[in-house]
Structure formats: structure tokens, C-alpha cells
Structure 1
């Protein structure tokens, strides 16, 4: 029998112990009454001797039974401790299984969303929408003079191109995108800030998608409760490739920047 079957029977050990105590008390009472019966009933020596033998036999049986009852009580205590331990282990296992099931559900949902996005059929992008090709991804950027594009507007810009806001998957893609953006900085601008599709959790410092490549700006990565609204990642690109203070940073989606990098999977 498995331990889970054992636990499921929900043995009432307390009731068993109470029954043993009643049995022991009843036996003691029987001996006491028998002694009173002898003392209150004067008889011949043979009868007294006979009763005495019976009494001694009862006492021996009582002693033997008391020993057996003590052993049973000891076994019951051990069984109760084992039962409590099994119940505790069972509860821990249920909680662990619940946590695993929750994590699996989240992972399956993320995998499903990723698969849906990456397998979505798109028409062959035009040259306008494929200014930069890295592997099987076409990138194009909308860059404006001045900062007047928030994240929702950036998303609409890409959707009108039948594209998504661009992700950065590895260092090769990052370098190619930054160089492409740098070549297209409008005249009169020294630097630009461009929205990406990467999201940032300021409490855990995790990014979504989890496999995104990141190269953070040396001075711009606010985190903690005070900055929990800074959920979106943008690119900070300077016209000077050797300028140290550029890279990726996080900001609220309501902030306005120069534009967006869009992508189309091909």
C-alpha cells in the first residue's frame, strides 16, 4: 500500500487510543470488584484458595494485558507521528505540483504567443520596408526631426507597414541596426532615440522577450519601485560611433522620441 493510500484512510488514532484506555480501566475494575466479592463473602478455606487462584490468574492476565496495551500505545504514537509526517509531506508535494503547473502554464502561453507571432504570414516586404536585412528579418526605421512619437504611435507606424516594432535578438543584429540608424540621423540632429519592441521590468530587471539582446546605456537604466512605469526599451544612438554614452535605456510608453524601428519576418 502506498503512503498516499495510507494517508487517505485518515485513521482516527485518537479514538483507538481512547478505546485501549477504556479496555484497561474495565479490566482493573473487574479485578477490584472480584476482590470485594471475596472479602464480603466468607467461605471455606478451599473456596478462598480457589478464589485466590482465580484472582492471581486475573492479575497475571491483567499484567500481561497492560504490557500489551502499553506496546500498542507506543505503536499508536509512532503511527500517529508517521501519519502527521505523511500529511505534511503530502501538503508540500501538492504545493510544489501547483507551482510547477503554474510555471508550465505561463511557459506554454509564452511559447504559443511567440510561435503565433513568428509564424504569422506577411506579404513580401517592399524595398521601403526592408532597408536593412539581417537573416530572415527585414528592418526599416521611421525617424523624425524632433521628439514627438510615443510608444503607441510607434506601434501604429509599424502596423501601417504590416510590421511589428523591432526586436533585437543578438549582438550582430544590434550592431547592424545601430549603424543603420546612425547613417539615417536627420541633419541638424546629433543623436536620436528610437523605440524598440523590447519591454523591461524595473522591479526584477528582466526583459521581454527573455532572449532579447541588451546593451545598456552607461547612465540610463532606472529600476525599482520609483521607476516601475519605465516599461519600454529604446535605442539611444549618437552620430559619433565612438561616443561612450549611448546604447539602450528604458522609459514610460508615454514619452516621445524620434521614431521607431520596425521589423517584418520573411
Structure 2
């Protein structure tokens, strides 16, 4: 019986060594459960490996966080949409700033507008027929403005029915997205900055 136990233990040890074995003169390092694990000929013990691996992990995470969801004319766009309309205009600015120091997005033309609608439609919260997000655009003195303050002209089909409104306090622009692509009840709306929306589209 003891002989069988010895054979089993020996087999287990051989299996572990076979799994850990790496070619001579090489060192394999990886972070496992927050700890540096090294296998092979690892002579360094100055902490440089864990620093390098940690930096690589952070770089990969940052790259994933800053990934563009929509690219239009070399510009990068990402949206954040919540289940409730709790994002004010000021709150939207903070959300975008947290994305690699981004800003609230501009919409540059009809093609760009349509690509953003396609991107945002699947983000409509469950149980809702539509959602709305802030942009960085403004509407002042009957003129649509980019976030830079420069004027821009858009075709009337990008506007929500009955918009733009001529009220002076309705100075910022959001976009409503309907679950039904053919619905007339979607588009850009000028509104008050104190109102809340479901989210924001950011330009990174």
C-alpha cells in the first residue's frame, strides 16, 4: 500500500515540474492573484519585473477604457448611458473629462448624426422606448454652435419635431434616440442645462 502512495506522490511531483518547466536560460513572469510568480532562470530580484508587468496591465486597462466606439473623420466618440435620466449638463462634462480628458461631443453633419443614432440605439435602457444624451453643442440667438463657439448649419431632419425652440434659456443641445429607427420622434433638441438626461456622448 505504501508503495502505491509513493508512486502517486512521485507522479504528482513529476507532473508539477513538467508543467512549470521552461526552456533553459529563460524566465517566465506573470501576476497571479496580485502576486508575482516567476518560473525558470529568474536572476533579477530587484522588483523590476513586477513594475513592468503592473505597468503593462495598467496600460492595457487604459487602452480599453479609451477605446473609440465611433470614429468619424479621425475623431473618437464614446457614450455613457444610464437607466434613469439623472445626468445634468454639468455632470455630463465631468463624465467626459474622466475619459482621457474628453469633452462633450459635437455632431458635425447628417452622416455623423446617423452613425451616432445607430451606435446609441442598442444602449436604450430595458423597458424604455427611447433615451437621450447630452452633446457639447449650444443653441443661442437662433444659431447652432459647436462646443468651440463656432457656428454650424444642420439639415432640418436632424432636429426633433418642434425644435429648435427660440427660448433664450434653452441654450444647450441633447439628442433623443428612439428604439424604432424610422420614428419621427427623435433628433436634436435644444433645452435647459438644468434638465437631466440619461447620458452623454463624449469626444475623446
User: Partners of 1:184 and 1:147 in 2: how far apart?
Assistant: 13
Q: Is the 8 A contact 1:168 1:212 kept in 2?
A: no
Higher helix share: 1
How far off its partner does 1:128 sit? Answer: 4.7
- TM-score, normalisation: structure 2: 0.62
Q: Give the aligned partner of residue 132 of structure 2.
A: 193
Q: Give the aligned partner of residue 182 of structure 1.
A: 121
Q: Give the aligned partner of residue 233 of structure 1.
A: 173
Which secondary structure does the structure 1 equivalent of 2:93 belong to?
A: helix
Q: Deviations over 1:107-126 (max 9, x none)?
A: xxxxxxxxxxxxxxxxx964
How far off its partner does 1:219 sit? Answer: 2.3
User: Partners of 2:118 and 2:196 in 1: how far apart?
Assistant: 22
User: Partners of 2:153 and 2:106 in 1: how far apart?
Assistant: 7
User: Partners of 2:180 and 2:133 in 1: how far apart?
Assistant: 16
CA change 1:129–1:232 in 2 (3 A) is farther
Structure 1: 5+ residue runs without aligned partners?
1-123
Q: Give the aligned partner of residue 217 of structure 1.
A: 160
1:208 equivalent in alignment to 2:145:
yes
Q: Give the aligned partner of residue 199 of structure 2.
A: 259
Between the two structures, name the one with larger relative contact order (CA 8 Å, sep ≥ 6): 2
Aligned length: 136
Q: Give the aligned partner of residue 151 of structure 1.
A: 89
Flag the structure with larger Rg: 1
1:165 equivalent in alignment to 2:104:
yes
Structure 2: 5+ residue runs without aligned partners?
1-61
Residue of structure 1 aligned with 2:185, choices 227, 230, 245: 245
Superposition misfits of 4+ residues, deviation over 3 angstroms: 124-129
- TM-score, normalisation: structure 1: 0.48
Q: CA RMSD in A?
A: 1.7
CA change 1:229–1:182 in 2 (3 A) is same
Which secondary structure does the structure 1 equivalent of 2:115 belong to?
A: helix
User: Partners of 2:160 and 2:152 in 1: how far apart?
Assistant: 19
Aligned positions of 1:1-266 closer than 5 A? 126=64, 128-161=66-99, 162-201=101-140, 204-209=141-146, 210-211=151-152, 213=154, 215-223=158-166, 227-264=167-204
User: Partners of 1:213 and 1:136 in 2: how far apart?
Assistant: 20
Higher strand share: 2
Which secondary structure does the structure 2 equivalent of 1:147 belong to?
A: coil
Which secondary structure does the structure 2 equivalent of 1:183 belong to?
A: helix
